[in-house]
Amino acid sequence: MGADREGRGRRRPARVMAYAAGGVLVLAGCASMPDSGDLRGVESTPRQETQVRVFAVPPGEDAPPSEIMQGFLEALTSDDPHYKTARQYLTGEAAKTWRPEASATVLTDGPGAKPEPGGGGEDTGEISYVLTGTKVATVDAQQAYAPATGVYGRSVHLTQDDKRQWRIDALPQGVVMGESDFQRNYMSVSKYYFASNTEAAGSDAQPTAVADPVYVRRRVEPMTQMVSSLLHGPTRWLGPVVRSSFPTGTALAKDSGALTPDDRNRLTVPLNHKAAGIGTNRCEEMAAQILFTLRNLSPAVDEVELRAGGAELCSLTQGTADTVASRSAARHPDYLYFVDDKHRLVRIPAGNSSTKPDPAPGALGEGDTALRSVAVSRDEHTAAGVSLDGRSLYVGSLVSGGSLGEPVLRSRGPSEKDRLTTPSWDADDGLWVADRDPDRPRLLLFEEGKGDPVEVRMPHLDGRVQSVRVAADGVRISLVVEKGGKKTLLIGLIERDGKPGEKPAVRVVELRSATPELEEVTTMSWAGDSRLVVVGREHGGVEQMRYVQVDGSTPDVPAPAALTGVKEVTAAEDDQLPLVANSVDGIVRLPSGEQWQKVTEGTAPVYPG
């Protein structure tokens, strides 16, 4: 595009955009450049044009520095796989050393650029521009997203080459663009590893898959990008608690080309020699990692065949991947549980349109202990409940006729809000609960829901835990933490140390905010492998319900329908099941594509977990 232009005069660089509109290919130019004056910011492509493809335009002959800067910045937002056109705006040496894949800096709007004071001018043969903007996020070399704040300011230097053409000879590594261009260019996809702190590698037990979200370029061979990223290993944040079944050093075979499934949706993945000679079980775990990673990409992949050294290692289908490794989103709970108006544990079939609950079997549903919150183990064999005053934690089986016994924990908090939180079960039947006693705030873990609790260390926690939910993978935990009247959502990693048969030392580390823009988080729940649903409000704003990713980004899915007065919300890892909440109308649910519907009176709704 643009190569057919004739003449040697000045021209204004432009992005050329192509997108489908009613079946017709439409081409449009944008972002014209003034011949004089300061360089204005690069306008981001409107977010709604999700099918837009942007092709970069090479620099024009005898183009002034302002056009070179503008054209380069716009080339960064193009779908050019290797930024070949962007490199044409650089000197030969700068083109060799520039690493666009090193990072992506996301700004509220496109980067502004103006001549730097004392940075030379056109008559001197060199000139510097300063790029400015307000930071929203960064994506690092591992493709991991992190929210960011503050002012962005970096310098770019231009000089004239031997042919007196202006080119950039010094610039920051990585790319920079506005938020809407980032959303158009990049997409979030989860790659999968296995939990290393629950089931050790080589164990006979089925490994547990853990999602590791990263951002890849949407239209630049995403399937190849994802597999390559998977082979390079987990992101730094998740790395301490997961393992990969791929041998160290495994990569795509040289000259393997782009990965594309055949007409039977079978994907052949050629690997280098590091993968040669592995056993079938390990190979199938590797194939499962790829299938989980590519599950939501298009075109669909129904089967993966791994090859190394010209020989087939193994093959695995989507239908059998869940028999190789456990993935939380594949679990379908039998029931939704909540507390009725008599403060007893009740349940209705999950995903059912029923509005009449039945008492849960066992002492928490059939006994006379008044409850204010509950949690049910993921196998739905055991339940835990916190007494109405928040002081006592009970654990009982979901079997009719069972006795309850004494509380497994009592809080000494002076008031209800200073006592026990809603409990949460992990994937190994561990029961987690926080005691909000101001004199002794603690996060506690009951192994297998019984015995003396382990006090979980949180060396870098700044505040008091108000709510706790453990992810189905057992290695990540979400906490609502209060400090100075502000409640924020933090995501941490669960680390365990200890020998078999001994009580483990458990820590929550690497805490990071998933909702930095919210100053008040009311309630939250895991809602998928790497997603949560959160109710909260921004500073000076109104309460809202939204989805967030564990990395702090916003998933590209519609927000839940508005709901007033939400006190609690719960979601299943299986996204086919409706959200359920406790609001001013009692227990309500949100079927896919519909509005909130009243179920019945009650409080404290939970899916198992």
Contacting residues for 542 by C-beta, under 8 A, at least 6 apart: none
Is pLDDT of 118 > 90?
Answer: no
Domain end (from 273, 306, 326):
326
Residue found by looking up tokens 């160290």 in the block: 248
Number of domains in the chain: 3
pLDDT category at 44 given cuts 50, 70, 90 is low
Are residue 536 and residue 595 in the same domain, yes or no? yes
Which tokens is 266 given? 């079978």
Distance of alpha carbon 476 from alpha carbon 492, whole angstroms: 6
Residue 270 placed within a domain: yes
Give which of 583, 568, 587, 526 is closest to 348, Cα–Cα.
587
What CATH number is given to the structural domain containing 479?
2.120.10.30
- pLDDT tens digits along 577-608: 999 999 999 999 999 889 999 999 999 999 99
Are residue 60 and residue 22 in the same domain, yes or no? yes
Residue found by looking up tokens 């079960």 in the block: 425
DSSP type of residue 90: B
- pLDDT tens digits along 187-208: 999 999 999 975 433 445 789 9
- pLDDT tens digits along 492-537: 999 998 777 777 899 999 999 999 989 899 999 999 999 999 999 9
pLDDT category at 12 given cuts 50, 70, 90 is very low
Residue found by looking up tokens 């979901």 in the block: 398
Residue 109 placed within a domain: yes
Are residue 144 and residue 232 in the same domain, yes or no? no
Range of the domain at 222: 218-326
Contacting residues for 429 by C-beta, under 8 A, at least 6 apart: 377, 378, 379, 382, 448, 449
Are residue 367 and residue 510 in the same domain, yes or no? yes
Q: How big is the CA angle at 412 (ends 450 and 469), to the nearest 5 degrees?
A: 50
Are residue 226 and residue 178 in the same domain, yes or no? no
Are residue 96 and residue 114 in the same domain, yes or no? yes
Contacting residues for 24 by C-beta, under 8 A, at least 6 apart: none
- Are the C-beta atoms of residues 605 and 374 closer than 8 Å to each other? no
Are residue 310 and residue 347 in the same domain, yes or no? no
Give which of 154, 148, 46, 155 is closest to 107, Cα–Cα.
148
DSSP string, 451-517: SSPEEPB-TT--SEEEEEEE-TTSSEEEEEEEETTEEEEEEEEEEEE--TTSPPEEEEEEEEES-TT
Q: What is the pLDDT of residue 27?
A: 33
Q: Whole-prediction pTM value?
A: 0.89
Are residue 63 and residue 27 in the same domain, yes or no? yes
Report which residue type is found at 128: S
